[in-house]
């Protein structure tokens, strides 16, 4: 078991619609908890009472009226509440925070695709998150068509939200924008192919997490899982 006095680790998950983020976050949290790591699973927009109200507003499509910059400001308001009330306190208590979407979503959706001014986005990051960047960002990569089909299946009879309702070209550009994020920031971001089934993708993510956070090697169960052997095989 690791020392709980130190700051927790912050891992964000990113990707297009239907890339499997919420399932993979849940599986990773279970694995970490099984090794004595206390986790907090959260999401954006949302994750705190104030931010959940903003979530309702943005996903209803108000951004179409406000434009990309106005929409980015709403996401920033939600993030500010979430960071100060949930993420920062949890990290301070030594918990590991697993967050479904974070600042890259604003950079990609409102910035690269919505053409909100990048300077505005960076300025909002300084105010909302300050130094609190994720230690690791896992970008789940699937072809747009695969992700959209998964999202439609999950939704069933419900209407698509503001972003799911965008056309196929939007989702293809979204995927490319995320791939570019991984290229631009290789120290923080790892692109994980999420086309395979849930268990295979979960194992890939576990290998990434194990090689990034070497303190996990101290835990007994990792050895039992054969992860260390796997990491050696992968040259990590």
Residues lying near ligand TMP in the complex (CB under 6 A) are found at 43-45, 75, 101, 105-106, 109-110, 163
Say whether 19 sits in a helix, a strand or coil. coil
Least distance (Å) from ligand TMP to the CB of residue 74? 9
Please state, in angstroms and rounded to a whole number, the distance separating the CA atoms of residues 141 and 31: 22
DSSP 20: -
**Residue closer to ligand TMP (CB basis): 90 or 151:** 151
Our CB check for ligand TMP shows the closer of 9 and 43 to be 43
**Shortest reach from residue 39's CB to ligand TMP, in Å:** 19
The nearest distance, CB 110 to ligand TMP, in angstroms, is 6
* 3-state DSSP percent of the chain in helix, strand and coil, to 5: 60, 10, 30
> Residue 177 CA to chain centroid, in angstroms?
15
Evaluate whether 82 touches 105 at the Cβ level (below 8 Å): no
CB 47 within 8 A of CB 177: no
Nearer to ligand TMP, 9 or 101 (CB): 101
Q: Rounded to the nearest whole angstrom, what is the least distance from the CB of residue 76 to ligand TMP in the complex?
A: 8
Please name the residues in contact with 103: beta carbons below 8 A apart, sequence gap of 6 or more.
Answer: 12, 79, 125, 129, 133
Assigned token pair, 219? 């835990």
Residue with tokens 């009330």: 85
Q: How far is the CB of 68 from ligand TMP (least distance, A)?
A: 9
Give the Å distances, CA to CA, from 105 to 34, 36, 37, 79: 29, 30, 27, 11
Q: Which is nearer to ligand TMP, 24 or 110 (CB)?
A: 110
Q: State whether residue 36 is helix, strand or coil.
A: coil
Smallest CA-to-CA distance from 234 within 220, 36, 212 is with 212
- As measured in angstroms, the least distance from the Cβ of 58 to ligand TMP is 6
- Please identify, using beta-carbon distances, which residue of 40 and 231 lies nearer to ligand TMP: 40
Pick the closer one to ligand TMP by CB: 45 or 134: 45
- In angstroms, the CA 191 to CA 110 distance is 21
Nearer residue to ligand TMP within complex by CB, 106 or 219:
106
CB of 172 to ligand TMP, least distance (A): 15
């Amino acid at each position: 078991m690791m020392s709980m006095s130190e700051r927790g680790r912050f891992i964000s998950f990113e990707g297009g619609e239907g890339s499997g983020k919420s399932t993979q976050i849940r599986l990773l949290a279970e694995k970490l908890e099984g090794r004595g790591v206390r986790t907090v699973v959260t999401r954006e927009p949302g994750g705190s009472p104030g931010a959940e109200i903003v979530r309702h507003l943005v996903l209803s499509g108000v951004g179409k009226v406000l434009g990309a910059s106005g929409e980015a400001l709403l996401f920033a308001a939600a993030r500010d509440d979430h960071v100060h009330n949930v993420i920062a306190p949890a990290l301070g208590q030594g918990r590991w925070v697993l967050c479904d979407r974070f600042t890259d979503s604003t950079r990609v959706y409102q910035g690269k695709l919505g053409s909100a001014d990048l300077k505005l986005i960076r300025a909002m990051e300084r105010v909302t998150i300050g130094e609190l960047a994720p230690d690791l960002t896992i970008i789940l990569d699937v072809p747009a068509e695969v992700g959209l089909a998964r999202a439609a299946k999950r939704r069933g009879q419900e209407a698509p939200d503001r972003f799911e309702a965008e056309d196929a070209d939007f989702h293809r550009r979204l995927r490319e924008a995320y791939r570019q994020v991984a290229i631009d920031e290789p120290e923080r971001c790892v692109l994980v192919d999420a086309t395979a089934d849930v268990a295979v993708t979960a194992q890939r993510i576990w290998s990434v997490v194990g090689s990034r956070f070497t303190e996990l090697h101290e835990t007994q169960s990792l050895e039992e899982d054969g992860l260390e052997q796997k990491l050696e095989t992968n040259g990590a």
